[in-house]
Amino acid sequence: MGGLRTAESLRRYKYPGHIHILGDEWHMPYNRPPLSKSLLAQDQEFAQVSFPIKSADLNTEFTLGDGVRQLSMEQQSVTLQSGKKIQFDFLVAATGLRSKKLVFPNNLQGGRFALRTFDDAKAIRQAVGSGKEVVILGSGFIGLEVAATLKGLGCRVKIVAMEDIPLGLILGEPFGEEIRRRHETKGIEFYLNNRVTDLVGNTAITHVKLVDGQSLTCDIFIEAIGSAANVEWLEGNELDLTDGLLTDSSLRAVKSNGTSVSNLFGVGDIARFPNIRFELPPRRIEHWNIPLESSRRTAREIVRQVVPGSIEGFESEDGFNPLPTFWSDQFEFSILSYGEPRLADEIRLLEGNLGEEFIFAYLREGSLVGVAGIGMKSKINEMRKDIIK
Ligand SMILES: Cc1cc2nc3c(=O)[nH]c(=O)nc-3n(C[C@H](O)[C@H](O)[C@H](O)COP(=O)(O)OP(=O)(O)OC[C@H]3O[C@@H](n4cnc5c(N)ncnc54)[C@H](O)[C@@H]3O)c2cc1C
């Protein structure tokens, strides 16, 4: 998504040069949020998640199914899996994340899944069906969304997670408890404050063992325990690759000695950037609005370097300061959040009732740092302008 959106923005800002998108997946760029929702629920085809592309306007070359293996800043080139070398004037790193997977003593693979790609979603969809016993490891957004979707397909779904409260650290305890209550009402079983210690079975998983001694029946085991940034191809260039690609507030890559690289950018999930809005140390944000906004900002910076003065107002623009935004659809309810609720030292129920629709305000030292709720979308949308700038 970040790669495609960068190319689109470059053309919008009249970038005059050649653009080449390199991807290790065989698919054209596609939208990931439906993978845990409609695509999984309805077994949709690729056309329903692929981003529409106007080839003539985009005027971009695609090389797919041939991932980048190594960057050489010295030679200003990247080498692909096939051995092909490509020179660049500007390079945008938008290689996103991959799902983390654990290693168990009986490290069985049969019946074991994670969800990051279209192919992952299709594989899960093929394996599940009414009556299947599904164990999901992790009670973050992806774990909860997949749980809701698979329950809707008639599976028996159990969630095992280390936290006491699903999403409690992100949205606060009362919100997280309400999410748990809603899932339990639908028949999802939680094993919280717990963890999987081993898998049981011969070629395929039949049970998972928990640290508290319980054994859960399991046909399908889905790990939804977070992601790791795809940065290995950037190694050897003195870049700071601790949890993603460290960038400055213009999204330019930062070297280990603290200097910025003027023609290498981080976009989307991979970028660990300082968000001056919240005065926080740099961090990655895994929400859909980040590839969108960081690609636009990067394209402007590139065009500024190539054709100085061509973008009105850009010279006086602030550093990249996006408002993190996410939504999550689970069963019939939709969560919407703006800002950084996890920073709050005070959480107030602002409107509504927990059992129905509601909005929480998240404050830090009296200033609004986030707003989130279930339903009440227009009110939440309206409140985002009050979040600190
Ligand atoms: C199942 C799922 C559900 C989600 N739901 C939501 C949601 O409801 N709301 C929300 O706000 N966000 C959601 N997100 C997050 C959102 O989709 C991501 O933030 C967004 O896709 C990030 O875009 P990106 O371009 O940074 O990375 P990606 O979209 O992951 O694209 C990176 C691409 O780079 C490729 N790549 C990796 N390494 C290499 C290499 N060495 N060479 C070449 N190519 C490489 C990858 O294969 C991938 O195709 C969801 C994500 C997932 C996985």
Q: For 155-178, what is each residue's pLDDT tens digit?
A: 999 999 999 999 999 999 999 999
Q: For 11-69, what is each residue's pLDDT tens digit?
A: 999 999 999 999 999 999 999 999 999 999 999 999 999 999 989 899 999 999 999 99
Domain assignment present for residue 113? The answer is: yes
Phi/psi of residue 121, nearest 5 degrees = -65, -40
Q: Are residues 125 and 213 in the same domain?
A: yes
How remote is the CA of residue 210 from the centroid of ligand 1, in Å?
30
Q: Are residues 82 and 132 in the same domain?
A: no
Phi-psi category of 177—alpha, beta or left, where left has phi over 0 and alpha has psi -120 to 50? Answer: alpha
- What is the C-alpha separation between 71 and 265, in angstroms, rounded? 13
Report pLDDT for 388.
87
How remote is the CA of residue 10 from the centroid of ligand 1, in Å?
20
Q: For 70-84, what is each residue's pLDDT tens digit?
A: 999 999 999 999 999
pLDDT band at 278 (very low <50, low <70, confident <90, very high): confident
Domain assignment present for residue 323? The answer is: no
Q: Which of 172, 202, 225 is the last residue of a domain?
A: 225
Task: Say whether pLDDT at 266 is over 80.
Answer: yes
Domain assignment present for residue 327? The answer is: no
Task: Say whether pLDDT at 297 is over 90.
Answer: yes
CATH number, residue 377: 3.30.390.30
Q: For 303-334, what is each residue's pLDDT tens digit?
A: 999 998 888 887 767 789 999 999 999 999 99
Report pLDDT for 310.
87
Q: Give the rounded percent of residues in the chain with a pLDDT score beyond 90.
A: 94
Q: Are residues 349 and 305 in the same domain?
A: no
Q: Are residues 156 and 182 in the same domain?
A: yes
Q: Which atom of ligand 1 lies closest to the CA of 80?
A: 42
Q: Which atom of ligand 1 lies closest to the CA of 286?
A: 19
- What is the C-alpha separation between 110 and 206, in angstroms, rounded? 10
pLDDT band at 126 (very low <50, low <70, confident <90, very high): very high
Task: Find the mean pLDDT for residues 172-201.
Answer: 98
Q: Are residues 169 and 107 in the same domain?
A: yes
Domain assignment present for residue 90? The answer is: yes
Residues 6+ apart with CB under 8 A from 331: 148, 151, 152, 182, 183, 186
Atom 50 of ligand 1: nearest residue by CA position: 33
Q: Give the rounded percent of residues in the chain with a pLDDT score beyond 70.
A: 100
What does the block give as tokens for 191? 């094993």
Domain assignment present for residue 240? The answer is: yes
Which one of 269, 284, 292, 338 would you pick to mutate in the ligand 1 pocket, going by the greatest count of ligand atoms within 8 A of its CB? 269
Q: Residue 69 carries which side chain, given as an amino acid letter?
A: R
Q: Which atom of ligand 1 lies closest to the CA of 5?
A: 25
How remote is the CA of residue 350 from the centroid of ligand 1, in Å?
33
pLDDT band at 293 (very low <50, low <70, confident <90, very high): very high
Domains in the chain, number:
3
Q: Which of 188, 207, 225 is the last residue of a domain?
A: 225
Question: Which residues surround ligand 1 with Cβ inside 6 Å?
Answer: 1-2, 22-25, 32-33, 35-36, 67-68, 94-97, 115-116, 142, 230, 233, 268-270, 286-288, 291, 326-328
How remote is the CA of residue 167 from the centroid of ligand 1, in Å?
21
How remote is the CA of residue 50 from the centroid of ligand 1, in Å?
13
How remote is the CA of residue 291 from the centroid of ligand 1, in Å?
9
Q: Are residues 290 and 345 in the same domain?
A: no
How remote is the CA of residue 132 from the centroid of ligand 1, in Å?
28
Q: Are residues 92 and 60 in the same domain?
A: yes
Q: Are residues 166 and 145 in the same domain?
A: yes
Q: Which of 316, 342, 377 is the last residue of a domain?
A: 316
Q: Are residues 220 and 238 in the same domain?
A: no
Domain that holds residue 157: 101-225
How remote is the CA of residue 206 from the centroid of ligand 1, in Å?
31
Domain assignment present for residue 239? The answer is: yes
Task: Find the mean pLDDT for residues 363-368.
Answer: 95
Which one of 51, 95, 251 would you pick to mutate in the ligand 1 pocket, going by the greatest count of ligand atoms within 8 A of its CB? 95
Report pLDDT for 318.
79
Which one of 49, 116, 145, 288 would you pick to mutate in the ligand 1 pocket, going by the greatest count of ligand atoms within 8 A of its CB? 288
Average pLDDT, the chain: 96
Which one of 26, 32, 117 would you pick to mutate in the ligand 1 pocket, going by the greatest count of ligand atoms within 8 A of its CB? 32
Phi-psi category of 313—alpha, beta or left, where left has phi over 0 and alpha has psi -120 to 50? Answer: left
Q: For 210-252, what is each residue's pLDDT tens digit?
A: 999 999 999 999 999 999 999 999 999 999 999 999 999 999 9
CATH number, residue 151: 3.50.50.60
pLDDT band at 361 (very low <50, low <70, confident <90, very high): very high
**Do residues 246 and 259 lie in contact, with contact meaning Cβ atoms separated by under 8 Å?**
no
Domain assignment present for residue 94? The answer is: yes
Q: Are residues 132 and 166 in the same domain?
A: yes
Q: Are residues 216 and 269 in the same domain?
A: no
Q: Angle at the Cα of 345 (from 344 to 349), degrees rounded to 5?
A: 70
Atom 26 of ligand 1: nearest residue by CA position: 268
Q: Are residues 221 and 106 in the same domain?
A: yes
Encode the chain in three state secondary structure: CHHHHHHHHHHHCCCCCCCEEEECCCCCCECCHHHHCHHHHHCCCHHHCECCCCHHHHCCEEEECCCEEEEECCCCEEEECCCCEEECCCEEECCCEEECCCCCCCCCCECEEECCCHHHHHHHHHHCCCCCEEEEECCCHHHHHHHHHHHHCCCEEEEECCCCCCCHHHHCHHHHHHHHHHHHHCCCEEECCCCEEEEEECCEEEEEEECCCCEEECCEEEECCCEEECCHHHCCCCECCCCCEEECCCCEEEECCCCEEEEEEECHHHEEECCCCCCCCCECCCCCHHHHHHHHHHHHHHHHHHCCCCCCCHHHCCCCCCCCEEEEEECCEEEEEEECHHHCCEEEEEEECCCCCEEEEEEECCEEEEEEEECCHHHHHHHHHHCCC
Report pLDDT for 316.
65
Domain assignment present for residue 326? The answer is: no
- Residues 136-167 as b or e (16 or more Cβ within 10 Å = b): bbbbbbbbbbbbbbbbebebbbbbbbebebbb
